[in-house]
Chain A
Amino acid sequence: MKKSNDVLRKEVIEAISWEPILISNEIDVNVKDGIVTLAGTVDNYTQKKEAEHAVKSIAGVKAVVDDVKVDLYFSAIKSDTDIASSVIKALHANWAVPDHRLKVSVENGWVTLEGILHWNFQRKAADNAIRYLPGVRGVIDKIKIEAEVKNELEKEIIEKALRRSWILDIDNIKVRVEGKTVYLSGIVDSLFQKDEAERIAWNTPGVWYVDNELVVEFN
């Protein structure tokens, strides 16, 4: 049974207020054809990310448009220099991030990451390390992935990996490989699954880019 806009909107609002970190926030929720738009303001970047994350695990949400603004308290505002130094420290202390390959710049609380990494999980780890730092308004990710290994991409490896995960139903997912890019298409039940399929595809040796065209359709 497809969820109506009203039902979905109610669920999104409940899901957001379920997160302890978001209890006191006023996030506006709009739903149209399964596409959820979040607007309003939150106190920090952590909350913005958390709201997006909470919505992604609801069955039936096809996409999230995140228009939430981070409105820092006066006392939480930090100078760009301070933010840059705590970002550099956080990236350096994180085991999974090859921080020497990344360039950090900060402007008005927005952190930009640039550089070339070998794996996408390293990019995710970098983003995660910044998430809880005070003073950050957002992250602009300009990191490129260039695999170290020169393997030919193998479609079968990806399909097998997708099949192993209980989270995904491989019968509805199509994998195509072209050069260094993996294309995913087909149908999944939730955005969480869409993200997980992409994460798995990114783990393929030799991959430089994943084009995720999976569609969320909840029945």
Chain B
Amino acid sequence: MKSNEILQREVQAEIKFEPLLHAAEIGVIVKDAIVILTGNVDSLVKKTEALHAAKKIKGVAAIVDEIQVIIEKSSVVSDQHIAEQLVSTFKENHVIPKGSVTITVEKGWVTLEGVLPWNFQRDIARELVENQVGVKGVINNIKLKRELCDQLEKELLEKALQRHWAFDMDEINIQVAGATVQLSGTVGSLFQKEEAERIAYKTPGVIKVVNHLKVNLEQPYLC
């Protein structure tokens, strides 16, 4: 396991290396492989980018996100304007079914509600909002539901993970119950943990993925 100081230095360096975050003042505190990020940034994109950067570092077990998005008075966008822009963005998007997502904007915070068939659509919805100018945060309350439900097949998911370059299937356990997939075992990084969940959400018939994968701190190398 990397020492707290080394991990802190690496996360700091990684954040500094992202062009978007050059000028951002993000504090990094590390305790037992848990990384706490603090500070203020002027856009949600920067906050997301900082989290993303930290997830790629070997030896990070979890991240506590205490970064705040604070938009200067002069660049505040009115809720009305954000809502209008988002409505038009969602209308222009052909991956998310029309009329399936409800948008509420309050003081720069956007809440998404509704029902979609697939998790990747839910992710795209969040991404669209995150990139919108003036947004401070997203609360994604979109639920998943499908008309036609295939029988969940464990083997299909196993194969999908096997194909992917980032996974060692000897270390990952899959359990299936009803429309739920549970992942357990160990992976080398937070990135892999999230990627495995993303893939599991594409299994035909899945509605919920319970992700119990642990990040292995002793051997963070894959393969």
B45 touches A95 (CB 8 A): yes
Give Cα A167–Cα B94 distance, bound, in whole angstroms: 32
A112 CB–B CB distance under 8 Å: no
B13 touches A160 (CB 8 A): yes
Interface size class, chain A:
35 or more
B17 touches A161 (CB 8 A): yes
Q: Which residues of A contact B95 (CB under 8 A)?
A: 21, 46, 132
Q: A21-B120, A93-B85, A164-B14 are in contact. Are A14 and B131 (CB under 8 A)?
A: no
Q: Which residues of B contact A20 (CB under 8 A)?
A: 117-118, 120, 202
How distant is B41 from chain A, measured CB to nearest CB, in Å?
Answer: 11
Q: Which residues of B contact A90 (CB under 8 A)?
A: 89, 92
Select which of B92, B120, B221 is within 8 A of A89 by beta carbon. B92
Interface core residue of A165, A166, A169, A190 (most chain B CB under 10 Å): A166
Q: A18-B202, A132-B124 are in contact. Are A166 and B220 (CB under 8 A)?
A: yes
B79 CB–A CB distance under 8 Å: no
Q: Which residues of B contact A46 (CB under 8 A)?
A: 94-95
Q: A20-B202, A133-B92 are in contact. Are A58 and B163 (CB under 8 A)?
A: yes
Q: A89-B88, A89-B92 are in contact. Are A15 and B163 (CB under 8 A)?
A: yes
Select which of B19, B118, B131, B222 is within 8 A of A95 by beta carbon. B131
A182 CB–B CB distance under 8 Å: no
How distant is A215 from chain B, measured CB to nearest CB, in Å?
Answer: 15
How distant is A128 from chain B, measured CB to nearest CB, in Å?
Answer: 8
Q: Mark B140-161, 1 if CB is under 8 A from A, else 0.
A: 0000000000000000100110
Q: Which residues of B contact A121 (CB under 8 A)?
A: 18-20
Q: Which residue of B lies closest to A8 (CB)?
A: B163
B164 touches A57 (CB 8 A): yes
A166 touches B88 (CB 8 A): no
Select which of A21, A93, A200 is within 8 A of B131 by beta carbon. A93
- Which residues of A (188-204) have their CB < 8 Å from a CB of B? 189-190, 192-193, 200, 203
Give Cα A189–Cα B166 distance, bound, in whole angstroms: 9
B18 touches A15 (CB 8 A): no
Give Cα A11–Cα B17 distance, bound, in whole angstroms: 36
Q: Which residues of A contact B19 (CB under 8 A)?
A: 118-119, 121, 203, 205
Give Cα A169–Cα B166 distance, bound, in whole angstroms: 13
- Which residues of B (138-192) have their CB < 8 Å from a CB of A? 156, 159-160, 163-166, 188-189, 191
Q: Mark A60-104, 1 if CB is under 8 A from B, else 0.
A: 000000000000000010000000001001100111100000000
Can you name 23 A-B pairs with beta carbons within 8 Å? A11-B163, A18-B160, A18-B199, A20-B118, A21-B95, A46-B95, A89-B88, A90-B89, A93-B89, A93-B132, A94-B131, A94-B132, A95-B131, A121-B19, A129-B131, A132-B128, A166-B189, A166-B191, A166-B222, A190-B165, A192-B165, A193-B165, A205-B19
Residues of A within 8 A of B (CB): 11, 14-15, 18-21, 44, 46, 57-59, 76, 86, 89-90, 93-96, 118-119, 121, 125, 129, 132-134, 157, 160-161, 164-167, 169, 189-190, 192-193, 200, 203, 205, 218
Taking A94-B131, A161-B13, A164-B14 as known contacts, 9 extra A-B pairs with beta carbons closer than 8 A to each other, sorted by chain A number, are A18-B156, A57-B163, A59-B165, A90-B89, A93-B89, A94-B132, A95-B133, A133-B93, A166-B56
